[in-house]
Structure 1
């Protein structure tokens, strides 16, 4: 009889304190299943001896926090067309920029027009800000993919050698060009603006665009800017225009003037 009591007591201690493994010799939890688990009803977490745990709600995922406590985590999905997930995010920068010293075209800019470096003042004289180049791929075939492109730079005016004007101005435009599968770069977004004031005056320029329904392919994106009218008030000649480039070091340096391009690609999952 004594032997029986000892055996029963040992069994009870094992049942209370031991971790049980199914198809594993090293269980990590009270019950550790190495294989497929089929649950016919609910999984509840966070319970105690007197409180029933939570079964979670629709849209939540089961998560292990710090390898110790288990809980349900809510997954936030942005509203919009389809269910989109962030597939790519990158920011490029350029501290060289570009400079213009002559008046260019003041005409219009057409969507999907090709990039041109013509010096003819009747056509846009575009120049790339080379460091803002980025590449991404679209792999989904449902035509719901989006690319969100954000370009920022600093624009400054200054006098050239021998110039004496006190108040200057310059108009300009910056655009975002996109190429698909090594094809031509086409204009996808553009804004024009003006900077005016004394020598060294500068301002920040922002351009944001969302491109919808992108087809499967390999894409490359670049930012470019062009000069429009470089005028001034007072004695002297044309204004020197720097875009992403410090043309007057007294008020701006290359780090302050730098250009950035942030690319975010959303695809269905």
Structure 2
């Protein structure tokens, strides 16, 4: 009888050290609960950074680190969104000191067809001699199909003009803001020679794009020289072409703001 009892206890111990099922005869893990579970005491996990057992703090949740790793306590921060209202989801700014330069022989053929070629959603590949300002090409992500994007581009434009004479000396140029290489905003301007040499002006431009598709996108800025008037001067956009200013003064900047109407609402109840 004693031998039988020892055998039964040994078998039970082996079983307990393997897998335990509650309300199931075929547990699929060390502890498998088939039904509701109420936890009235503390829940502790291993903190692998210091090899200590921790129970977390108030308002923290357990987050999985993947198979083979213990979960970790994380603080959950959920913003209080109201339905059908726009919220600023993404905001960032970028700068560039390399800019783009154009000689008098590098004029875009689009100057003759501005009203038909420099139109909304025109692909940059179809625009002649539009050059991107390299560091202003940046990615962003949208999480909602209802969105408003605001782009603010600022730069300095300079031409190595002589002092103005008669007739006037000037250059037409244009800068566009593109999303995924599609034109969403364009500004055409003119820089004229002044009483001093090497004229420079500040260029400001604001663009808007609405309801872009959800997912990853890329914003970029590209400019072109359109037409020259009595001038063979070099045109610099976002870069100096004469020593009366430097690359710090001439640098470009781009600010990107994404406003979205959130699509998923996860109510938090106590």
Q: Any stretches of 5+ residues in structure 1 without a counterpart?
A: 1-22, 25-33, 36-74, 118-122, 180-184
Displacement after TM superposition at 1:259 (Å): 0.5
Alignment partner for residue 111 of structure 1, among 102, 120, 123? 120
Displacement after TM superposition at 1:268 (Å): 1.8
Name the residue aligned to 2:212: 214
**Paired residues for 1:96-245 under 5 Å:** 96-102=98-104, 103-105=107-109, 106=111, 107-108=113-114, 109-116=118-125, 124-140=128-144, 143-159=145-161, 168-179=169-180, 185-198=181-194, 199-232=197-230, 238-245=232-239
Contact kept? 1:170, 1:196, Cα under 8 Å: yes
Alignment partner for residue 266 of structure 1, among 253, 259, 268? 259
Name the residue aligned to 2:248: 255
Residues 146-196 of structure 1 show CA distances to partners (whole Å, capped at 9, x for unaligned) of 11111111111105xxx89756311100001111xxxxx111110100000
- What is the CA RMSD across the aligned residues, in angstroms? 2.6
Q: Any stretches of 5+ residues in structure 2 without a counterpart?
A: 1-40, 43-57, 60-79, 263-270
The structure with the greater share of residues assigned to helix is 2
State TM-score, norm by structure 2: 0.59
CA distance in 1, matches of 2:217, 2:228: 34
Displacement after TM superposition at 1:230 (Å): 2.0
CA distance in 1, matches of 2:108, 2:222: 14
CA distance in 1, matches of 2:81, 2:155: 33
Contact kept? 2:152, 2:204, Cα under 8 Å: yes
Displacement after TM superposition at 1:213 (Å): 1.2
Displacement after TM superposition at 1:133 (Å): 1.4
Contact kept? 1:84, 1:267, Cα under 8 Å: yes
CA distance in 1, matches of 2:142, 2:81: 23
Residues matched between the structures, number: 176
State TM-score, norm by structure 1: 0.59
Contact kept? 2:150, 2:209, Cα under 8 Å: yes
